Amino acid sequence: GAVVSQHPSWVICKSGTSVKIECRSLDFQATTMFWYRQFPKQSLMLMATSNEGSKATYEQGVEKDKFLINHASLTLSTLTVTSAHPEDSSFYICSAGGAGVNEQYFGPGTRLTVT
């Protein structure tokens, strides 16, 4: 089956710094990738839709200038949390679905802790 990887799997950073999270589709091309966020004991909430070669579409309430998304190739999307604050600490999961794929494939997630 299709495999999606994320890097890093966990990261601790200081408040005010920026953190980049990578999402890669390893054995298929993904024209669209999705970024979700999950707070403790809560469900996954969609943050943005990343489209290869174009600007990402952000969900209401998600700051596009804070969560920078780049989908430069069909196998890689990156999420950069800029000027991170402790309230950004969360579990970030990406998913990918390319043409002809009937189900979304999720990455293993990245746990971000901002101190």
Partner 1 sequence: SQELEQSPQSLIVQEGKNLTINCTSSKTLYGLYWYKQKYGEGLIFLMMLQKGGEEKSHEKITAKLDEKKQQSSLHITASQPSHAGIYLCGAGNYGGSQGNLIFGKGTKLSVKP
Instruction: Report 17-56 residues binding partner 1 (CB under 8 A).
Output: 32, 34, 42-46, 49
In degrees, rounded to 5, the angle at the alpha carbon of residue 11 between the alpha carbons of residues 108 and 35 is: 45
Residue 51, C-beta contacts closer than 8 angstroms, at least 6 positions apart: 31, 32, 57, 71
Count residues near partner 1 (CB under 8 A). Answer: 24
User: What is the 8-class DSSP label of residue 28?
Assistant: S
Instruction: Report residue 93 CA to chain centroid gap.
Output: 6
* Nearest distance, CB of residue 65 and partner 1, angstroms: 21
- Residue among 51, 70, 80, 104 that touches partner 1 (CB under 8 A): 104
**Binding footprint of partner 1 on the chain (CB under 8 A):** 1, 6, 32, 34, 42-46, 49, 91, 93, 95, 97, 101-109, 111
